[in-house]
Amino acid sequence: MREYDDITLKRLQAIELMIVNDFQKICKKHNIQYFAIGGTGIGALRHKGFVPWDDDIDIAFLRPDYEKFLKVAVEEMGDKYIVM
Integer Cα distance of 35 and 33 in angstroms = 7
Dihedral angle computed from the Cα positions of residues 57, 58, 61 and 62, in that order, rounded to the nearest 10 degrees: -170
- Report whether pLDDT(29) > 80: yes
- Identify the pLDDT of residue 1: 60
Lowest mean pLDDT among 3-7, 10-14, 33-37, 63-67: 3-7
Percent of the chain with pLDDT over 70: 99
Distance from CA of residue 44 to its chain's centroid?
Answer: 12
Higher pLDDT: 4 or 45? It is: 45
Output the pLDDT for position 84.
82
Q: Is 27 exposed, middle or buried (0-12, 13-18, 19+ CB in 10 A)?
A: buried
Predicted confidence band of residue 64 (pLDDT cuts 50, 70, 90): very high
